[in-house]
Amino acid sequence: MNIYKSDNLALAPYLTLNGLKYIKKEATKENGKIKIYFIFEDGENKGEQLSLDFNRSDFKQYRDLTLFFRTEIEKAKREFFDGKE
């Protein structure tokens, strides 16, 4: 059985939506930090190409912009409360 593994949380749903079957999670310790990998069954060896497609996709752009705007909200909240007594 071919597998594809990734630690990218945003990529995992994209892989699932595009036909890779999620099998399990796997925790490892790298450089003193715990890293979680998502393991997928990749019978057609398309995981790597799907990863490239995701990085060029509107899905990735949407996710990145959502994170940007969430950061902007958090900054605005900090600025607002820093100005209050």
Q: Please state the rounded mean pLDDT for residues 49-72.
A: 96
Alpha carbon 46 to its chain centroid, in Å, reads: 17
Q: Please state the rounded mean pLDDT for residues 61-78.
A: 95
Q: How many structural domains is the chain composed of? A: 1
Q: Determine contact, residues 16/52, Cβ cutoff 8 Å.
A: no
Q: Kindly write down the DSSP assignment for every residue of 21-52, as one continuous string.
A: EEEEEEEEEETTEEEEEEEEE-TTS-HHHHHH
Q: Range of 7's domain?
A: 3-82
- Give the C-alpha separation, 27 to 77, whole Å: 34
| pTM for this prediction | 0.79
Task: Report the CATH number at residue 55.
Answer: 3.30.70
The pLDDT, as a whole number, for residue 26 is 97
Mind listing the pLDDT tens digit for each residue in 7-56?
Answer: 999 999 999 999 999 999 999 998 999 999 999 999 999 999 999 999 99
User: Helices then strands (H, E): number in the chain?
Assistant: 3, 3
For 56, residues 6+ apart whose C-beta sits below 8 A from its C-beta are none
